[in-house]
Amino acid sequence: MSKEKPALPKGMRDFGPKVLQKRNYIFSVIKNTFERFGFQPLETPTMENLSVLTGKYGDEGDQLIFKVLNSGDFLNKVTLNDLEDGYKKTTRKISEKALRYDLTVPFARYVVMNRNEITFPFKRYQIQPVWRADRPQKGRYREFYQCDADVVGTNSLLCEAEIVLMIDEVLTTLGLTDFTIKINHRGILTGIAEAIGEKGREGEICVAIDKLDKIGQEGVEKELIERGIAEKSIERLRPLLSLSGENDSILEQLDPVLVDSAEGLRGLTELREVFSYLQHFNIQTAKVELDTTLARGLSYYTGCIFEVKVNKVQMGSISGGGRYDNLTGMFGLPGVSGVGFSFGVDRIYDVMEELQLFDKTVASGTKVLISNFDKAAEIYSLPILQKLREAGIAAELYPEAAKLKKQMTYADNNNIPFVLLIGSQEMETGLLNLKNMQTGEQESLKLEEILVKLK
C-alpha cells in the first residue's frame, strides 16, 4: 500500500457537508420546480460509447472528451503503424467508451433508442455531472453538474413561456431579485442578416455579436470586418443592436426592418406569442427583455433563445437555452422539435454566496445534539433520542462521555443549533435543559415541549 500524500486530480472537487448542504438546497429548488411543471426525471449512464459522442461538439469538443481505456489487454489490437500515426488514431483502438460531455447528446440518444415507448410530447429533466478536459481555472472545473429540462415532440410556444416561468420561479425561490431573462429568436438574427444585405451569414454575425459583453461594440465590429462583413452592412446593423424600450416597442421597431424576411417574420410572430402567454401567466414582464444582441454560440438553436444574467454581480449567464428543430437528427431520427434550458449550479452557488442568500438553517443538518456525560445519562438519553427522531427531528447523542467543552465545540463546528444538556438534576426532575447555541439561552423543558419547539 502506498503511503504517499493523497491528492485530488486537477479540476476535481470534494464537496464537504457545509458546501454540499447548500448545493443540495439549490438542486432541490430546481428539482421541485421542474416536477411541479410536469417534467419527469431521466438519468443516463456516465459512460457512453465514444462513437455516440464524437463529432457532436466540434473538433475542439472532441479533444475535451475524457476517454476511458478499454479493460484488459487494450494493446492487443494496436499495431506499430497505429502508434506511428499518432495518438488520435491510437485512441480509437484502445478506447471505446467516454465520459458524458453534456446532457443533450445522451438525451437525444435516449429519445432515439426509446422512441417507441415514449409518449410525446416528452418532458424530461436531468440533473447529472458532466466532464470536460478543459484547462481548469477560477469557476471552471473538469467535473460539474448540469440541470437540464427539455420538451420534445411539440412546437407549442407554451413551452417557451413555461421556461421563462420556471427560471423566474427558481431564482425567486432562491432569493434572487435583480435578474434579467434575455430572450431573442434565431429568426430575428436571420432576418437582420438579410435586412443588412448579408443574407445567409447570420452564423458569422452571431459568433461576433455573442462576444459583445466581452469585447464591446468596437471589438464586435472589428471582428465582423475580419469575417468579411461589409462596412455598409455593419452601419445598417449598428442601430439594430442597440434598440431600446419596452419589448413591444422593440418588436414594432423591427417590423419594418424584417418585413421582407420570412424567417424574420416568423421570429416576430413567435416572440409576440411567447409574450402573450407570459401576460396571461401574469409574470412581471420587466424581468423579460428582448435583446437582439443575444446570439448564443450553439449552432443547433432554430427558434427562441434565452439567457439569464444576475444584475450588479460579476458573473456570466446562470441559465440559458432555446429551441432546436433537429436534436435527434444526429442519430437518424429527423423532425423531432424541442426546446430546453439549463441552470448553471456552480455559478448560482457563487452568486448566492456573494449576495449572502444562504439562510443559516440551509447548512445545518442535525437540529439537536444530546450531551453525553456518563453511562447513566447516556442510557437515560436513548429513548429521548428515539422520540426526537420519530418526531422527524434530526438528532444525535454524542457517542461517548466527554468534556462539555468538546461536545459544545462539536455542536458549534457542525452548525447544530440546539444542545440538550442532560445531567443528574435533569434525570431526577425530567425537566431537560435545552440550550440555544446562537443566543446562549437555556430553558428547562419537558420532552413534549421540546418536541413542539424543535419541530
Sites for its own copies among residues 205-264 (CB under 8 A): none
150 labelled ligand-binding: yes
Q: Does 57 bind its own copies (CB under 8 A)?
A: no
Would you mind telling me the total number of residues written for the chain in this entry? Answer: 455
Q: Which is nearer to its own copies, 222 or 367 (CB)?
A: 367
Question: Do the annotations mark residue 40 as ligand-binding?
Answer: no
Collapsing DSSP to helix, strand or coil, 294 comes out as: coil
Q: Which stretch binds its own copies (CB under 8 A): 177-185, 193-201, 246-254, 378-386?
A: 378-386
Of 60-68, 193-201, 229-237, 295-303, the segment contacting its own copies by CB under 8 A is 60-68
Nearer to its own copies, 386 or 429 (CB): 386
287 touches its own copies by CB under 8 A: no
Half-sphere exposure of 25 (CA within 13 A, CB side): 23
24-29 long-range contacts, CB within 8 A, separation 24+: 25/358, 25/362, 26/174, 26/345, 26/348, 26/349, 26/352, 27/127, 27/145, 27/147, 27/345, 29/170, 29/173, 29/174
24 counts as binding its own copies under rule CB under 8 A: yes
Grid cell 423566474 in the structure block, residue: 168
Work out whether 36 is an interface residue with its own copies (CB under 8 A). Answer: yes
Binding to its own copies in span 65-104, by CB under 8 A: 66-69, 71-76, 78, 83, 86-87, 90-91, 94-97, 99
C-alpha–C-alpha distance, residues 336 and 315, integer Å: 34
Contacts to its own copies from residues 382-401, by CB under 8 A: 382-383, 386, 389, 392-397, 399-400
User: In sequence order, what are the residues at sequence separation of 6 or more whose Cβ sits closer than 8 angstroms to the Cβ of residue 413?
Assistant: none
CB proximity list for 451: less than 8 A, separation 6 or greater: 387, 388, 391, 393
Question: Which residues, in sequence order, are bridge partners of residue 432?
Answer: 445
117 contacts: CB under 8 Å, gap ≥ 6: none
- Please indicate if the annotation marks 324 as binding a ligand: no
Q: Which is nearer to its own copies, 55 or 316 (CB)?
A: 55
Which of 233, 366, 433, 444 lies at the binding interface for its own copies (CB under 8 A)? Answer: 366
C-alpha cell at 165: 416561468
How far is it, in rounded angstroms, from Cα 238 to Cα 232?
10
Minimum distance, C-beta of residue 350 to its own copies, in the bound complex (Å)? 18
Q: Which residues, 319 to 348, sit near its own copies by CB under 8 A?
A: 329-332
Binding flag, residue 3, its own copies (CB under 8 A) = yes
CB of 109 to its own copies, least distance (A): 4
Could you tell me the three cell numbers for 224?
Answer: 465582423
In angstroms, give the least distance from the CB of 133 to its own copies: 4
User: Is 404 an interacting residue with respect to its own copies (CB under 8 A)?
Assistant: no
Say if residue 102 carries a ligand binding annotation: yes
Cβ-based nearer residue to its own copies, 68 or 315:
68
Q: Which of residues 155-214 bind its own copies (CB under 8 A)?
A: 155-156, 158-159, 165
The single residue among 25, 57, 101, 131 that binds its own copies, judged by CB under 8 A, is 131
User: Does the annotation flag 296 for ligand binding?
Assistant: yes
User: CB 174 → its own copies: shortest distance, Å?
Assistant: 17
Q: Which stretch binds its own copies (CB under 8 A): 191-199, 237-245, 275-283, 344-352?
A: 275-283
Candidates 38, 139, 175, 197; binder of its own copies (CB under 8 A) is 38
The CB-of-224 to its own copies minimum distance in angstroms stands at 29
Instruction: For residue 146, state whether it binds its own copies (rule: CB under 8 A).
Output: no
CA distance 62 to 65: 5
Residue 103 is assigned to a ligand binding site: yes
Q: To the nearest whole angstrom, how small is the minimum distance from the Cβ of residue 4 to its own copies?
A: 7
Question: Burial letters for 240-274: b for 16+ Cβ neighbours within 10 Å, e otherwise?
Answer: bbebeeebeebbeebeebbeebebbbbbbebbebb
Quick one: 47 or 207, whose CB is closer to its own copies? 47
- What Cα–Cα distance (Å) separates residue 117 from each residue in 110, 120, 332, 411? 11, 9, 17, 51
* Least distance to its own copies, CB of residue 455, Å: 13
**How far apart, in whole angstroms, are the C-alpha atoms of residue 17 and residue 272?**
46
Query: Applying CB under 8 A, which part among 194-202, 216-224, 276-284, 312-320 lies near its own copies?
Result: 276-284
**How many CB atoms lie under 10 A from the CB of residue 348?**
25
Instruction: Report the residue from 6, 228, 256, 335 that binds its own copies according to the rule CB under 8 A.
Output: 6
Q: How many CA atoms lie within 13 A of 398 on its CB side?
A: 27
- Copy the grid coordinates of residue 20: 454540499
CA-nearest of 185, 323, 198, 187 to 262 is 187
Rounded Cα gap, residues 121 and 290, in angstroms: 27
Quote the distance between the C-alpha of residue 450 and its chain's center.
39
CB of 83 to its own copies, least distance (A): 7
Query: Judged by CB under 8 A, does residue 17 bind its own copies?
Result: yes
Give the residue ranges of the annotated binding site for L-histidine: 102-104, 132, 146, 150, 296, 300-301
